[in-house]
């Protein structure tokens, strides 16, 4: 018994040391607003907010200090997992930050509150070009958080000529050195840009054609990845990879051998925006949070840490000159006009996209026949084992 209690003692002390840490580091803050007792649940992308490490601003703590509203901040890894969590009904979020096409899907399904913009005076700081987006046509449900464009990372040591086109991703010379997005919307967008179609096409033939192009590319692709591109590009294991411009900051500036371009065929321009789900029970507090995030000073400090571009022009005053004048983060009008924002696809098309994407990645239609065969083989093995055992037992009895 003594042994067990020792283990408990060690475990609990470990627990409490960790539990007390976050509070210790904020003990020196002064003039904080009294706590209102309300906690809002915020759901954002992973590593997508300034969190106080390395001397940066802890955005959520600052919000609590100013308003007395506490924040339960949690993170997701993809728009699709955010959707499944919301649709499952298991969670009451007050502020969510999905991307463009997911927002229009959520609006179409009536899953978002209409935001009362009177409660968000800082909305005036949002750049005009973001105020009437395609994904939220009347601009009733969302306030932009970040934006960026998809571009191409390339290895300068091995690719001497600066690439200008997505075509290089189909170049057999670089077979085995090419990386691709591991999600259907982004991967198809590249094929669409090459074919010159609209990214939000509702023509199933165009999707089939794009899928053919991706299948054609598959033998050249080293891997379908998301965050592994950082390591693979840095180490030179891969030479070409499409990814988000917001990540160019770390990758290009700290590695001399890596370059970043926006291909001439155009590209996808994405916006992540803040919304309030219909299930939220603290709408006013959620609006206060959104308003706080649009404060130019906060947005500036936040984007300085996150590395993506801010839709708030006044926030640029708090960012370094290098970043603002960098075409990668704040591209010219000309580049912008050559890009397109995703919107939601009709349900029959999005089902088609899912099955086409599965085909591309598996190298053929995943037919049910194979599945049945596999199950049959397993069953056969199982049955033969049982029969073998029975025979053995009978022999032993004899």
Partner 1 sequence: MKIASKIYSALIFIFLYAPILVLVVFSFNDTETGSRTIWSGFTLKWYKMLFEDRLLLEALTNTLIIAVITAVISTALGTMAAIGINAMNKRTKKVMLTVTNLPMVNPEIVTGVSLMLLFVFFVQVFGGKSLGMVSLIAAHITFCLPYVILNVLPKLRQMNPNLYEAAQDLGCTPFKAFYKVVLPEILPGITTGFIMSLTLSIDDFVISYFTSGTTQTLPIYIYSMTRKRVSPEINALSTLLFAVILVLLIIVNVRNSKDKKEGKAN
Give me the residues that bind partner 1 (CB under 8 A), please.
1, 3-4, 6-7, 10-12, 14-15, 18-19, 21-22, 25, 41, 43, 45-48, 51-54, 58, 60-61, 72-78, 88-93, 226-227, 230-231, 234-235, 247, 250-251, 254
| Smallest separation (angstroms) from partner 1 to the CB of 226 | 6
Helix (H) or strand (E) holding 73: strand 70-76
| CA atoms within a 13 Å half-sphere pointing along the CA-CB vector of 364 | 4
C-beta closer to partner 1: residue 21 or 362: 21
| Smallest separation (angstroms) from partner 1 to the CB of 8 | 8
| Smallest separation (angstroms) from partner 1 to the CB of 177 | 16
Can you read off the two tokens belonging to residue 193? 């840009």
C-beta closer to partner 1: residue 94 or 340: 94
Query: Is the separation of the CB atoms in 268 and 243 below 8 Å?
Result: no
C-beta closer to partner 1: residue 42 or 168: 42
C-beta closer to partner 1: residue 14 or 378: 14
Q: Where are the alpha helices (DSSP H) in the chain?
A: 2-24, 59-67, 79-88, 100-108, 184-195, 204-217, 229-234, 248-253, 283-293, 296-306, 321-324, 333-337, 347-362, 368-397
Give the SS3 label for residue 366: coil
| Smallest separation (angstroms) from partner 1 to the CB of 326 | 18
**Count of CB atoms situated within 10 Å of the CB of 358:** 13
Q: For the chain, what is the radius of gyration of the CA atoms?
A: 26
| Smallest separation (angstroms) from partner 1 to the CB of 155 | 15
| Smallest separation (angstroms) from partner 1 to the CB of 6 | 7
C-beta closer to partner 1: residue 50 or 310: 50
| Smallest separation (angstroms) from partner 1 to the CB of 299 | 19
Q: Which residues pair with 259 in a beta bridge?
A: 154
Separation between Cα atoms, residue 127 and residue 143, nearest integer Å: 11
C-beta closer to partner 1: residue 188 or 308: 308
Can you read off the two tokens belonging to residue 182? 């591991």
Separation between Cα atoms, residue 85 and residue 40, nearest integer Å: 17
| Smallest separation (angstroms) from partner 1 to the CB of 52 | 6
C-beta closer to partner 1: residue 94 or 314: 94
C-beta closer to partner 1: residue 194 or 283: 283
Residue with tokens 């924040």: 71
Residue 8's φ and ψ, nearest 5 degrees, are -60, -45
Give me the sign of the Cα torsion angle 234, 236, 239, 241.
Answer: negative
Separation between Cα atoms, residue 225 and residue 94, nearest integer Å: 31
**Count of CB atoms situated within 10 Å of the CB of 233:** 23
C-beta closer to partner 1: residue 12 or 388: 12
């Amino acid at each position: 018994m003594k042994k067990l209690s020792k283990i408990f003692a060690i475990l609990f002390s470990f627990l409490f040391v960790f539990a007390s840490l976050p509070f210790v580091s904020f003990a020196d803050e002064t003039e904080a607003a009294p706590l209102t007792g309300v906690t809002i649940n915020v759901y954002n992308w992973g590593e997508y907010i300034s969190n106080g490490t390395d001397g940066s601003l802890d955005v959520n703590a600052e919000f609590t200090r100013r308003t007395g509203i506490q924040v339960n901040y949690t993170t997701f890894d993809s728009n699709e997992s955010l959707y499944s969590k919301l649709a499952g009904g298991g969670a009451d979020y007050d502020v969510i930050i999905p991307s463009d096409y997911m927002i229009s899907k959520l609006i179409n399904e009536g899953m978002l509150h209409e935001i009362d913009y009177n409660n968000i005076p800082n909305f005036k700081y949002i750049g005009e070009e973001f105020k009437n987006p395609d994904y939220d046509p009347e601009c009733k449900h969302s306030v932009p958080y970040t934006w960026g464009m998809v571009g191409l990372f390339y290895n300068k040591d091995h690719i001497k000529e600066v690439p200008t086109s997505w075509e290089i991703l189909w170049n057999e010379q670089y077979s085995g050195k090419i990386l691709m997005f591991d999600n259907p919307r982004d991967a198809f967008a590249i094929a669409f840009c090459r074919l010159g179609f609209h990214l939000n096409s509702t023509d199933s033939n165009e999707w089939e054609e794009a899928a053919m192009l991706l299948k054609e590319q598959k033998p050249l692709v080293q891997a379908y990845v998301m965050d592994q591109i950082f390591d693979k590009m840095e180490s030179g294991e891969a030479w070409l990879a499409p990814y988000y411009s917001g990540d160019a900051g770390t990758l290009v500036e700290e590695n001399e051998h890596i370059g970043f371009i926006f291909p001439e065929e155009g590209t996808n321009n994405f916006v992540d925006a803040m919304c309030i789900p219909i299930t939220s029970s603290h709408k006013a507090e959620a609006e206060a949070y959104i308003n706080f995030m649009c404060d130019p000073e906060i947005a500036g400090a936040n984007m300085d840490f996150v590395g993506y571009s801010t839709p708030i022009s006044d926030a640029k005053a708090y960012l370094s000159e290098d970043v603002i004048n960098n075409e990668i983060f704040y591209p010219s009008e000309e580049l912008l006009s050559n890009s397109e924002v995703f919107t939601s696809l009709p349900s029959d098309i999005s089902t088609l996209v899912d099955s086409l994407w599965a085909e591309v990645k598996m190298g053929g239609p995943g037919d049910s026949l194979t599945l049945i065969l596999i199950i049959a083989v397993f069953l056969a093995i199982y049955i033969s084992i049982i029969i073998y055992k029975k025979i053995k037992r009978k022999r032993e009895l004899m």
